[in-house]
Amino acid sequence: MRITVVGTGYVGLIAGLGFAEFGNDVTCLDVVPEKIEFLRNGKCPIYEPGAEDLLERNIRAGRIHFTTKTKEAIEFGEIIFIAVGTPEDRNGDADLSYVYETAREIGMYMNEYKVIVDKSTVPIGTSREVAKIIQSELERRGEEIKFDVTSNPEFLREGKAVGDFLNPDRIVLGVENPRAEKKLRKLYHVFVRSKKPMIVTTPETAEMIKYASNAFLATKITFINEIANLCDKVGANAIEVASAMGADGRISPKFLHPGPGYGGSCFPKDTKALARTGRKYGAPMTVVESVINANAHQKELAAQKIISSMPDGGRIAILGLAFKPETDDMREAPAITVIDRLLKTEKFRIKVYDPEAMETAKMILPKDKLEWCKNTKDILKDIDAVAVLTEWAEFRNLDSEFLAEVMPEGKIFDLRHIFDRKEMEEAGLEYIGIGF
Ligand code: NAD
């Protein structure tokens, strides 16, 4: 099939590569020429394990093309995926300007029947708005071309995006016209051979499924964070609590890891957008509203743990900056809040290192106020404390004896629970966790 994907970010690029991998002809469109140039040369502008192999293979096979030419890209696809960003706007709503701009462009250039698929995470009712925009552009052109707007939310996780896209837990299609449904079923046929469910429903329900799923996961993380905070006060161990809770099949152990709060490109903005939708329709999302507040508090609490334990400040190594391992995405990462609060005290000398997110971090964090290190060896010198903000595999094996040598009687703020308290304490280090 001929597929166009608009937007080559974490979702659009991986979707484009996935469709090409299954033998479709794919054109990926983006407005950033440098990204397109990079991709044409077989280089991935984002860090995502496995993506560059797919890119190289599918470019070689001639199944994927990258362009900045909107007309060409819109005319190409029989199915057009919208995978542009929907960031948070000033009020906490989803900013739909990129989605609506794409809808206008589709209306401006479409030349035959198209199935338009909204893959971006968008508030309930957006598919209908997209259809209206396309229709009004067609009317302006005096054209009568049929089209269907459908919803196909994406559930991939950054860092595991390739595997998640090629082998999804479920595929959700919000589609009303059987003609469009047939095309989408054909496209996704190869994906569901593993007997994973394909849920075909209305666009509104599909849009809600995405928000409800993300809000639920954010709630689960926040729940265990609050349990961990209480464990700290009452002398219980949150890791053991989470493990025992997770053994219950109804609960599952996933997303039950206490930490410095969730971040990333999705949970923060999607919980806020859902809360805003609830308020708009007079059906308040009180649980989600609490989750948003509790998560902001959790990031502050992580910073306060360090500040109150080091009232005179000192030299601290921040291990990990990305919002989670295996990605270079820094959006809403807890490290941003923690570093900001430490800097505000004017008492800390902060060294930072992340295996993949150094470049993105330099665009977000105050570049001149931090010491940017090249590797783990480089950062673990001349320090009084270590704070783990991202649980990258390469930090897990740090030896307690080595750490004790580098910073005798130093402090370990193990905010991701990657070390063993007993081992660290036996080496003479002070171990500070969250609920453990
Ligand atoms: P992103 O910011 O990484 O990428 C968006 C891309 O769209 C950018 O490259 C941008 O240049 C491009 N773009 C914007 N306007 C355009 C236009 N008019 N024409 C062509 N290209 C245009 O965003 P992302 O993380 O890939 O997220 C995209 C959507 O998918 C969002 O709605 C997000 O909520 C959702 N989503 C993201 C993830 C994730 O893990 N990142 C997972 C599931 C769903």
Place of tokens 């033998």: 23
- Per-residue model confidence (pLDDT) at position 191: 77
- Per-residue model confidence (pLDDT) at position 125: 95
Residue 10 Cα to ligand 1 midpoint, Å, equals 7
Residue 161 Cα to ligand 1 midpoint, Å, equals 14
Index of the ligand 1 atom closest to the CA of residue 270: 34
Residue 345 Cα to ligand 1 midpoint, Å, equals 36
Index of the ligand 1 atom closest to the CA of residue 101: 18
383: CB partners within 8 A, 6+ apart:
315, 316, 317, 351, 406, 407, 410
Residue 323 Cα to ligand 1 midpoint, Å, equals 17
317: CB partners within 8 A, 6+ apart:
351, 352, 353, 373, 379, 380, 383, 385, 386, 387
Nearest residue (CA) to ligand 1, atom 30: 120
User: What is the rounded distance in angstroms from the CA atom of residue 26 to the CA atom of residue 390?
Assistant: 35
Supply the pTM of this predicted model: 0.96
Average pLDDT, consecutive stretches of 10 residues, N- to C-terminus, the chain (436 residues)? 98 98 97 98 96 97 98 98 97 96 98 98 97 98 98 97 94 98 95 82 98 98 98 97 98 98 97 97 98 98 98 98 97 98 98 98 97 97 98 96 96 98 97 96
- Per-residue model confidence (pLDDT) at position 196: 82
- Per-residue model confidence (pLDDT) at position 193: 67
Closest CA to 291 of 245, 232, 224, 337: 224
Pocket flag, ligand 1, residue 101 (CB < 6 Å): yes
- Per-residue model confidence (pLDDT) at position 195: 79
Pocket flag, ligand 1, residue 86 (CB < 6 Å): yes
Q: Is 44 a catalytic residue?
A: no
